[in-house]
Structure 1
């Protein structure tokens, strides 16, 4: 009896401190987690989408070969755990990665999972198999993948063209679920079939995503929850009201410092976990717009940006912006403020920067009596419109009048893919991983379909490929820093701000973690339990 009492005290203390007890005696089965979504998911197919609006509600439906520890605060290689694969090994000098798969796993429709499903998934991503997908945003990650070989039903090998230290991290991302061979793309977009801890029970667009426990889940004893009920609430104020009125148990992971303050005033017992987040605001130029191709204009725009003011608005000054990689110490690869101060707009004297920008604009024929008019597309969310409004005001100081064009995320995605119907866009990019390949290969490589600015510099491209193959972490970091600084100095896609966000939950919700260096990797929820 004394032992049970002590265990209960320990669990209570850990819960009050915001931690997650690992003691199995504390975990309870059953109950429904009432959660919330901020957007209508464009579809249910994680492999075809890039937004948390799809990943958050549907990651519990799937498994990866390997996955980042769902209870770890940092998504990093040291925290990669087995998932559908029991073990893995590198051979051939780091060019072959072989996985031994877990036996007895079944898809939610009862079909056995085998290595053929792994091959089907990555053959579709590579573009050598047609599974009926409409989009393939992860293809740039796997440009180094030469083949996927099924070595029997429970063994599969990824064959690389060259060694690539980041490759295993790609497979551990929340954006890397294994798909079934026998289910087509259309079905996966509306009623996905996975092997995960939860099965899709209901998906009503603009209303609800409801998941129910998979009784045949191959990880015995998991999940602990019976259901997860995601309700769509588009308005941020209404989402907060739903939480403080206890109609939801956990918030969406986009809570900012002002939201946290309001929640703590009304629900002092709520546990909020906020930190600098790898959510980078960038200004992207439409590559087809002739006016915006002018390097002198781009330099003037870069010089006009006051990042300190943007940080004050976006993160209450708690998160600094430098380059495209996450700022240290939270990030492993980013530039320090000292390293980047030579790039346009990063010198501390904002007024001196703007005087230089005004001089450049006058050389282009603009001034107080003749302004340049531009439109800027922005996602129709408060967290995007607010910094966009401030940026527009900053650009007005150098004779540029910016008209905001707020659009829903679905319209944004369509225009972005077509590179049409916008001149500027404020792009809030939350990379899947704090890893150079996940960012550089996807956003800045000449060969990437997701390089929406069409940035293509031969020197930078060679540096990107060199860092990708570099095994020594320190040497690789030096190369990544050099790329980051080079892109900033070119004003190719100015970085504006980073975020300080997180989520809040009630003390009875245990096992819910958001990694500080990724917004996308910790929503499997097989470890979440309710201690009411």
Structure 2
């Protein structure tokens, strides 16, 4: 969305509409002109405006619930009219989660046809083998991109992917899966390999199904959260390449993360022996013990980084007498399984598109949100989330956001185990590919070139 906008003029007041001038000369990959009609079509569709078909499941519909109307006085101007102030709206529109759809292409066609405005066009897709992109000669930024194309080789096994990079079959690793240990091994084998340590804005978390016993009992939820040592998790599972945090990205990568003293008071961050003892006591009060152990199935995605996390969780729960077994779930059905609530305890990763409370809280924690997989619902917390969303003064907003984070962790809404860093590796011939803290927003490749 932001690359197709020219600029956003300042608003005269909190209640004034947001105007978005559309960049001139932008064309879709099929040659049709991009206009304000496409922007209105997209965000009316996403928010389920009257008269639109809407989307069957849309986890980000709630992002745009405060939009009252979208006007397009001419092909180059979009006006968003809001029901109430929402300073974060422009941040949400700038997210990599906010692509614009071509109004002239039926939604059903977009399942098999890729039509965008970006620097590369889809050339070929062979399922299970590769995705190949070709340079867009009509890209709206003249002289870009530098590359003639990009080929994404699909390699399912993590070790094989790393070996392919080391052997020079790949120029760069895939974002999101680089670990500190793998990066150290790569640098040892290929000293010239370039590695960026960067936040991904992705957290590792537990999903406790609030609709299924025993997680209807707050004592059980608190016991499980207390049992998992966050610092041990960071060292054992992420080899020190992560940060302990709550629901917002921790410092120094994020600006909304809790202060160290606040984090230290949360479950899983205190003395491990004392917290595990407290967890056993809570389980006993809930009716579980050596003669009647709590038995659980821990479901997770059948991907290495998920399995690593789930295995650690199972071991930690064993130390408080919980008997847990692992259920690996294929990626094709993982999110549908979560959405339907067909699990007991889930070991999950959650990506947060931009470092802003509205992006995270509305999508993952408010009552009834499709991506609130634990089905947590607390009307008091919802009111706090709405209150912070309207605040123009960032100082009181930070204080309220901190209180919301503490409340979410104490309620066991989605206990955060840590925020992983990515160790993004590439050969030195790759120039100007610079990752930053949102994995969803830096991979356009329009400024990247190869020096070889």
Q: TM-score range by the shorter chain?
A: over 0.9
Q: Number of matched residues?
A: 449
Counterpart residue number, 1:285: 208
* Range with greater deviation from structure 2 (450-459 or 313-322): 313-322
Counterpart residue number, 1:489: 410
Relative to 1, partners in 2 of residues 1:301 and 1:262: Cα closer, same or farther, differing over 3 Å? same
What is the CA-CA distance between 1:92 and the residue it aligns to?
5.7
Normalization by structure 1: what TM-score? 0.82
Q: Report matched runs for 1:116-195 at 5 Å.
A: 116-128=37-49, 130=52, 133-195=55-117
Match of 1:100 among 7, 14, 21: 21
* Range with greater deviation from structure 2 (86-95 or 377-386): 86-95
Relative to 1, partners in 2 of residues 1:264 and 1:131: Cα closer, same or farther, differing over 3 Å? farther
Q: What does the per-residue CA deviation read over 1:198-220, in whole Å, with 9 as the maximum and x for residues that have no partner?
A: 11111122111111011111111
CA contact (8 A) 2:301 2:334 kept: yes
Relative to 1, partners in 2 of residues 1:460 and 1:481: Cα closer, same or farther, differing over 3 Å? same
Match of 1:246 among 153, 156, 168: 168
1:89 and 2:12 aligned: no
1:523 and 2:443 aligned: yes
CA contact (8 A) 1:344 1:491 kept: no
Distance 1:90 1:276 in 2: 30
CA contact (8 A) 1:276 1:318 kept: no
Q: What does the per-residue CA deviation read over 1:340-377, in whole Å, with 9 as the maximum and x for residues that have no partner?
A: 32233322x11111111111212222222321111111
What is the CA-CA distance between 1:488 and the residue it aligns to?
1.3
Match of 1:396 among 305, 318, 321: 318
Q: What does the per-residue CA deviation read over 1:204-248, in whole Å, with 9 as the maximum and x for residues that have no partner?
A: 221111110111111111111111101111100110111011011
Counterpart residue number, 1:306: 229
What is the CA-CA distance between 1:134 and the residue it aligns to?
4.4
Question: Unmatched 5+ residue regions in structure 2?
Answer: none
* Range with greater deviation from structure 2 (521-530 or 439-448): 439-448
What is the CA-CA distance between 1:106 and the residue it aligns to?
1.5
1:110 and 2:15 aligned: no
Q: Secondary structure at the match of 1:375?
A: strand
Distance 1:488 1:137 in 2: 22
Q: Report matched runs for 1:446-461 at 5 Å.
A: 446-461=367-382
What is the CA-CA distance between 1:494 and the residue it aligns to?
1.3
What is the CA-CA distance between 1:276 and the residue it aligns to?
4.2
CA contact (8 A) 1:275 1:500 kept: yes
CA contact (8 A) 2:227 2:272 kept: yes
Q: What does the per-residue CA deviation read over 1:139-162, in whole Å, with 9 as the maximum and x for residues that have no partner?
A: 121111111111111111111111
Q: What does the per-residue CA deviation read over 1:435-473, in whole Å, with 9 as the maximum and x for residues that have no partner?
A: 111111111112422211122212211110111111111
Q: Report matched runs for 1:252-267 at 5 Å.
A: 252-253=174-175, 254-267=177-190
Relative to 1, partners in 2 of residues 1:353 and 1:132: Cα closer, same or farther, differing over 3 Å? closer
Counterpart residue number, 1:40: none
Normalization by structure 2: what TM-score? 0.96
What is the CA-CA distance between 1:137 and the residue it aligns to?
2.5
What is the CA-CA distance between 1:275 and the residue it aligns to?
3.1
Distance 2:447 2:199 in 1: 24
RMSD: 1.6
Q: Secondary structure at the match of 2:243?
A: coil
What is the CA-CA distance between 1:91 and the residue it aligns to?
3.5
CA contact (8 A) 1:322 1:336 kept: no
Counterpart residue number, 2:308: 386
* Range with greater deviation from structure 2 (446-455 or 90-99): 90-99
Q: What does the per-residue CA deviation read over 1:479-516, in whole Å, with 9 as the maximum and x for residues that have no partner?
A: 1001001111222221112212131111111121211x
Q: Secondary structure at the match of 2:311?
A: helix
CA contact (8 A) 2:27 2:33 kept: yes
Dislocated runs of 4+, deviation >4 Å: 129-134
CA contact (8 A) 2:146 2:449 kept: yes
Q: Secondary structure at the match of 1:94?
A: coil
Q: Secondary structure at the match of 2:183?
A: helix
Q: What does the per-residue CA deviation read over 1:297-330, in whole Å, with 9 as the maximum and x for residues that have no partner?
A: 1111121111111111233234332211111122
Q: Secondary structure at the match of 1:269?
A: coil
CA contact (8 A) 1:202 1:211 kept: yes
